[in-house]
Amino acid sequence: MMDVVLVGCGAMSKHWLDAVRQIDGLRIAGLVDLDADRARARAREYDLASAVIGTSLDAVLDQTKPQAVFDVVVPAARREVAISAFAHNCHLLTEKPLADTPDNARAIVGAARSAGRIHAVVQNRRYVANVRRIRRFLDSGAIGAATSIHADFFVAPHFGGFREEMAHVLLLDMAIHTFDAARYMVAGEPAGVYCQEWEPANSWYRQGSSASAVFDLGGGKRFTYAGSWCAAGFRTSWESTWRIVAERGSLVWDGEDGLKAEVVLPVRDGLFDQTQPIVVPPLDPADRIGGHLGIIQDFVHAIEAGAEPETRGADNIRSLAMVFGAIESAETGRRVAISAQEGQ
């Protein structure tokens, strides 16, 4: 039995606890929130009568001595949670984003390394079947190497809460999913970015609800991102909509079930090379999916096997570097170089 303390009993904690219920051998030994009523409410809702409830993570870890901490707090509190978890010799699985600033990200990844503990991030958009299929399809070379990756994200949620007050809300709180997916799908290594952020007149956020960025993903690959968190109408999927242009064809994905590809034929019709549809193979049984559940299962397995999980912090920090590079570019109006060494 693996004991875990979950900290941060707000909206997302429900998804975590729903997943935990489906995993044998995991026990929630404690629930922590600055607002103890929220922790108590979750304990009642999930029949966790034996869980220790508290407002201080340190105190609950002292009392319960778990193997791992599940961090579902707001990004601004992530560093103190991580330092507390590692100081108590716990492995740590954390919500995205890994951290709210580059300094905090480096401090957290460094603390995990020094403590010799497993540290992973819930970058759950990777654990989506079509994201896995796209990666395999591109790896197969069926349409050649990807050269140009385009993602659009237009969703207009009224969350309330911390997002409406935080700076760089789209880039820091949501775009990390799309940036990480882009990096994963084309095996890219980000090298630089230009970005602009703005606040449309109709926005209900304090800052940074709309952004447009162009990344250099290495090897000649460019990734363009256009996003808004206050664009009502013609909503896109939470996964974004995608067009990936490769050397011998293209792939489009609507972020849901619509995934199609076309390959170029060696025949020209007037101005244009002929193209024909090409099947993107179904999910490979080895591909891990399942969103939060899949990531939590991988994290538990990594602890048991002494292995590093796919979404380990030391790798995820490179996707986060895309976020921080974009923020710096938006603030300075300049291209920002992204270091390949980030996180090593």
In the complex, which residues of this chain contact ligand NAD (CB under 6 A)?
7-12, 32-35, 38, 57, 72-75, 77, 80, 95-96, 122, 124, 161-162, 173
- The per-residue DSSP string of 1-60 comes to -EEEEEE--STTHHHHHHHHTTSTTEEEEEEE-SSHHHHHHHHHHTT-TTSEEES-HHHH
* Backbone torsions φ then ψ of 117, nearest 5 degrees: -110, 155
* Nearest distance from C-beta of residue 145 to ligand NAD, angstroms: 30
3-state secondary structure of 134: helix
Residue among 128 and 217 whose Cβ is closer to ligand NAD:
128
- Gap between the Cα atoms of 228 and 230, Å rounded: 6
Residue among 8 and 30 whose Cβ is closer to ligand NAD:
8
Instruction: Classify 218 in phi/psi space as left (phi over 0), alpha (psi -120 to 50) or beta.
Output: left
> Nearest residue by C-beta to ligand NAD?
10
* Nearest distance from C-beta of residue 161 to ligand NAD, angstroms: 5
- Gap between the Cα atoms of 259 and 253, Å rounded: 4
* Nearest distance from C-beta of residue 157 to ligand NAD, angstroms: 10
Residue among 119 and 221 whose Cβ is closer to ligand NAD:
119
* Nearest distance from C-beta of residue 147 to ligand NAD, angstroms: 29
* Backbone torsions φ then ψ of 292, nearest 5 degrees: -55, -45
* Nearest distance from C-beta of residue 191 to ligand NAD, angstroms: 26
Residue among 174 and 264 whose Cβ is closer to ligand NAD:
174
- Gap between the Cα atoms of 67 and 182, Å rounded: 33
* Nearest distance from C-beta of residue 95 to ligand NAD, angstroms: 4
Residue among 38 and 318 whose Cβ is closer to ligand NAD:
38
Residue among 73 and 134 whose Cβ is closer to ligand NAD:
73
Is there a contact between 82 and 54 (Cβ–Cβ < 8 Å)?
no
